[in-house]
Amino acid sequence: MRCAPLTASLLLLLTACGGGAEEPSEEEAAAAEQAQAISVRVARVEQGTIQAWVYAQGTARAGEREFLSFESAGRVAYVDPRLDEGDRVRRGQVIAYQQQARAEASVANARATLANARSEVTVAQANQRQAAASLELARETFERYRQLLALNSASEQEFDEAEARLAEARAAKQKADAQLAAVRANVDAAQAGVDEAQVAVSESRIVSPINGVIARLNIEQGQYFSPQAIQTGSESGALSTVPVVIINPSRFEITVQLPAFERNAVEIGSEVLIEAGDQMAATARATDSRPGIGAGRAPGLNVSDYAVRGQVVAISPSLDPERRSFQVTIRSNSGSVRLQDGEFVTTWIEGREAENTAIVPYDAIRFEDNQAFVFVYDPQTRTARRTAVELGLQGIEGVAIAAGVDAGTPIVTSGVERLSDGDRVRRIGASARQSASGASKAR
């Protein structure tokens, strides 16, 4: 029960105590009545287009991330003294290496073996050419003696000797071919040995495979490194133990989980608003004023205020059986300079859109037993009538009303928390003519 304001109390007191005192004037009664009314602001329900947004949170990670390590244990002989975390590196740049003497000696030995194998190929090729020439000569001699024998110009013995020399030449050619194949195989084996030795050298060197920025530098010159020291059980463990981590901060990817019922609300190419750092705090302050429904259901700032944006690039076709959610991958396309690798961010994915629908501001909506309602302003009686509404899409502009009130309906937008159904109200912001007109109609 509300206490009457001072003006109304004085009028009643004077009336009670005055006995035959005069009744208050019409103006005084109207003033007393107006003093008891609750001050509110009124606006008409707008009609327009509303854009829904799907809320999700995730971790921003650079689109390119390289975890670089030595493959074997050894002393770190060199770390580029010009480099530190946050410094840029180019593709192919040497960052650090272990002691190289043994690996380089292996490369030298492998190269010497390769050179010997190649010289053997040269000799074998010469032998093969000689054997081929001898075979051709033996073949021509044999053919000549065969013709001479047919003309009785050569003996059987001469023909047999020519045939034997042809067989020997064929055997010599086959042997030369086999020797050439063998030494060529030796060359291939020697080349593999060189490659293996060079791999050993490369594995003892850390070279940037991309153009990027050093995110972690966990080694120092003179330290002894062992691969067993790397912690692979978690990302944080890897980041603190892998010798070098390089990222490309020009583009980030964010993986989020959405509930199964949102599956049809997003699609490949949907625009995404990304909140990070100070903007998350600003959004939190903006949504604090929304009574329940707005918080976590629509971006807290205007779309134009979001400097970091992206788009959906992948949607998993399968659900997580435990969480009943599906995975969505977002890739930034503007404002990436504001993001940090590993930063926790909030995302708003562009969802469904409704056109030509009634829209009310968040401040106008109240709830009781999960039923949404608004207060409709009656200018005839200057009262606020509680009216149940069915909510539709929720966006930055407000909430779409599927049923309950139509566009153009005057509703209370400020002061609703003090109202009950049928309360008399005083409209703040109305012109003097509107107020007088409303009072005249009420009388």
Confidence class for position 2, pLDDT limits 50, 70, 90: very low
Among 396, 349, 350, smallest CA distance to 254 is for 349
Confidence class for position 268, pLDDT limits 50, 70, 90: very high
Model pLDDT, residue 192: 86
Confidence class for position 313, pLDDT limits 50, 70, 90: very high
pLDDT (tens digit per residue) in 384-412: 999 999 998 888 878 999 998 999 899 99
Burial class (CB in 10 A: 0-12, 13-18, 19+), 18: exposed
443 has pLDDT over 50: no
Are 303 and 267 in contact by the 8 Å Cβ rule? The answer is: no
The amino acid present at 90, given as its one-letter code, is: R
Mean pLDDT over the full length of the chain: 83
Pairing mode, if any, of strands 410-414 and 212-217?
unpaired
CA 188/CA 305 separation, integer angstroms: 63
Model pLDDT, residue 442: 36
Model pLDDT, residue 11: 45
Pairing mode, if any, of strands 425-428 and 38-44?
parallel
User: Please, which residues bridge with residue 362 across strands?
Assistant: none
- Tokens at residue 354, please? 């409704």
Q: Domain extents for the chain?
A: 40-60+250-442, 70-99+205-242, 101-203
- Tokens at residue 308, please? 């970091």
Q: Which CATH architecture has domain 40-60+250-442?
A: Beta Barrel (2.40)
CA 387/CA 372 separation, integer angstroms: 9
CA 272/CA 351 separation, integer angstroms: 10
Tell me the average pLDDT across 77-88.
94
CA 400/CA 290 separation, integer angstroms: 15
Among 347, 275, 344, smallest CA distance to 305 is for 275
The CATH number of the structural domain formed by 70-99+205-242 is: 2.40.50.100
* Sign of the Cα pseudo-torsion (129, 134, 138, 141, in order): positive
* Sign of the Cα pseudo-torsion (389, 295, 362, 47, in order): negative
CA distances from 284 to 131, 220, 346 (A): 89, 43, 11
CA 54/CA 316 separation, integer angstroms: 16
Model pLDDT, residue 296: 53
26 has pLDDT over 60: no
What are the residues whose beta carbons fall under 8 Å from the beta carbon of 52, sequence distance 6 or more?
265, 298, 351, 352, 353, 354, 393, 394, 395
Neighbours of 416 (CB within 10 A): 21
CA 213/CA 85 separation, integer angstroms: 8
- Between 103-117, 123-137, 161-175, 354-368, the lowest mean confidence (pLDDT) is in 103-117
User: Please, which residues bridge with residue 64 across strands?
Assistant: 248
User: When comparing pLDDT for 299 and 374, which is higher?
Assistant: 374
Confidence class for position 112, pLDDT limits 50, 70, 90: confident
pLDDT (tens digit per residue) in 36-73: 788 889 999 999 988 888 999 999 999 999 999 998 88
pLDDT (tens digit per residue) in 202-258: 778 899 999 999 999 999 999 999 999 999 888 889 999 999 999 999 999 999 999
Percent of the chain with pLDDT over 70: 82
322 has pLDDT over 60: yes
Gyration radius of the chain's alpha carbons: 45
Report the first-to-last Cα separation within the chain, whole angstroms.
25
pLDDT (tens digit per residue) in 171-203: 999 999 999 999 899 999 888 888 876 666 677
Among 403, 75, 340, 79, smallest CA distance to 225 is for 75
What are the residues whose beta carbons fall under 8 Å from the beta carbon of 325, sequence distance 6 or more?
257, 258, 259, 260, 319
Confidence class for position 105, pLDDT limits 50, 70, 90: confident
Neighbours of 249 (CB within 10 A): 17
Model pLDDT, residue 244: 96
Model pLDDT, residue 351: 87
Are 81 and 257 in contact by the 8 Å Cβ rule? The answer is: no
Largest CA distance in the chain: 173
- For tokens 């199964």, name the residue: 260
- Between 30-34, 174-178, 308-312, 426-430, the lowest mean confidence (pLDDT) is in 30-34
CA 12/CA 375 separation, integer angstroms: 31
CA 36/CA 49 separation, integer angstroms: 39
Among 19, 54, 63, smallest CA distance to 352 is for 54
Model pLDDT, residue 265: 85
SS3 of 149-178: the string is: HHCCCCCHHHHHHHHHHHHHHHHHHHHHHH
pTM surpassing 0.75? Answer: no
Model pLDDT, residue 235: 87
Burial class (CB in 10 A: 0-12, 13-18, 19+), 163: middle
Percent of the chain with pLDDT over 90: 45
DSSP 3-state assignment of 405? coil
